[in-house]
Amino acid sequence: MPIMRVLMVSKALVVGAYQRKAEEIATLGVDLTVLTPPSWRDRRGEQRLQPVHTCGYTLRAIPIHFNGAFHWHHYPTLEAEIRQLAPDLLHMDEEPYNLATWLALRAAQRRGIPAIFFTWQNLHRRYPPPFSWIERANYAAARAAIAGNQDAATVLRRKGYAGEIAVIPQFGVDPLIFAPTAMRSDALRPLHIGYAGGLLPEKGVDDLLRACAQLRGAWRLTLAGEGSEQVRLRRLAGELAIADRVAFVGRIASTDMPSLYRSLDVLTLPSHTTPGWKEQFGRVLIEAMACETAVIGSDSGEIPQVIGDAGLIFAEGDYSALAAHLQHLLDAPEERARLGAAGRRRVLERFTMEQIAAQSVAIYRRVVGRP
């Protein structure tokens, strides 16, 4: 099979652990170049580029304008990069309603280079001009789209996108890196509950604190992440008289996340749906599941589809139901072990980086081979 030259532009790949997908793509007959910004800023803080997994492909940082402005950010040198690299395909790992995607797809069109985009948007939202114009133009310019979940694919169709759609999560996990420890700690120790992600209103971490306050028996809680809710959550832990059991450990490097998951007995993702957002995947779930850590999630967005029958689900906002699940796992260590094993099996069946890379390359080849 001939070597295919692919240019991927992705702010997500500033995260070192995510770069394993690029390494896997490069093993499948792809001459891959990945361009990222030097860092990306959002409400969780700033994530600087971590060149961790860089074998077999080229990873480079290029300048970014309006860093942190989700709709307006773009790469001023990208057109020159496209002209110089002359790839067979441009993979714009970015939403279709953003300026960066429009500028990139226009530059590719001018050179006859087929292009695809990625979307997580699982709510049917109407954007004002110029973003609605940008979205329509990108729908016309793209040869195919990758949707991170089935709801996102449905939204694309409802909004008029007529091209090929492949439903592929943006990233999987490497099961050799995200792997269980040889032996879990003593079942008699306090139940170690964890959360990893943004400390943001929609993530429902306040529900987790309220649920933990209802537990009977020994437990402790680790919150990994940063965000606008941190001060309020610390105050709430104090009001609930559980501050001495709650550790706020800040943002953890992606390469250190397996150690965190292996230290936990259960990972929770208590997300809330808002008018403008619902959980799009919940990558921390599959990372924890790969480490044989039991998981509990709310029923927001894609969470139930990710967990399947390998974890516990509760109605979002119902922190008493979350407390009941946590109490069950506190009282039944054998159930934690069963769910942990089921979670790893589910990841190996559906969510490895190797599988995600193979599905991505399959759509690359279909697009490049299509007139």
pLDDT band at 1 (very low <50, low <70, confident <90, very high): low
Q: Check residue 45 and give its pLDDT.
A: 85
What tens digit of pLDDT does each residue of 336-351 get? 999 999 999 999 999 9
pLDDT band at 77 (very low <50, low <70, confident <90, very high): very high
Per the CB < 8 A criterion, the answer to whether 228 and 201 are in contact is yes
To 10 degrees, the CA torsion angle through 65, 56, 344, 212?
-30
Q: Check residue 8 and give its pLDDT.
A: 98
- Mean pLDDT along residues 276-299: 96
Q: Check residue 183 and give its pLDDT.
A: 66
Strands of the 58-61 sheet, one edge to the other? 58-61, 30-36, 4-9, 89-92, 115-119, 144-147, 164-167
Q: What is the DSSP string of 271-288?
A: ---BTTB-----HHHHHH
pLDDT band at 371 (very low <50, low <70, confident <90, very high): confident
Q: Check residue 85 and give its pLDDT.
A: 97
Residue for token pair 């002209």: 83
What tens digit of pLDDT does each residue of 145-200 get? 999 999 999 999 999 999 999 999 999 999 999 999 876 656 678 999 999 999 99
Segment among 68-77, 187-196, 223-232 with least mean pLDDT: 187-196
- Mean pLDDT along residues 257-286: 96
Alpha carbon distance 188, 348 (integer Å): 30
Domains, in order of start, for the chain: 4-172+352-368 (3.40.50.2000), 191-350 (3.40.50.2000)
Strands of the 294-298 sheet, one edge to the other? 246-250, 219-224, 191-196, 266-269, 294-298, 312-314
Q: Check residue 134 and give its pLDDT.
A: 97
The percent of residues above 90 in pLDDT, for the chain, comes to 94
pLDDT at residue 119 greater than cutoff 90? yes
Helix, strand, coil share (%) of the chain residues, nearest 5: 40, 20, 40
Helices (H), 122-250: 131-141, 150-158, 205-213, 230-239
pLDDT band at 43 (very low <50, low <70, confident <90, very high): confident
The candidate with the shortest Cα–Cα distance to 73, out of 49, 106, 105, 40, is 40
- Mean pLDDT along residues 15-19: 94
Helix 283-290 with 333-350: angle, nearest 10 deg: 110
pLDDT band at 370 (very low <50, low <70, confident <90, very high): confident
Angle, CA 277 vertex, CA 272 and CA 278 arms, to 5°: 50
Q: Is the peptide bond before 270 cis (omega within 30 degrees of 0)?
A: no
Per the CB < 8 A criterion, the answer to whether 330 and 215 are in contact is yes
Coil, helix or strand for 214?
coil
Alpha carbon distance 241, 237 (integer Å): 6
- Mean pLDDT along residues 105-129: 96
Phi, psi of 14 (to 5 degrees): -65, -20
Q: What is the DSSP string of 320-358?
A: HHHHHHHHHHHH-HHHHHHHHHHHHHHHHHH-BHHHHHH
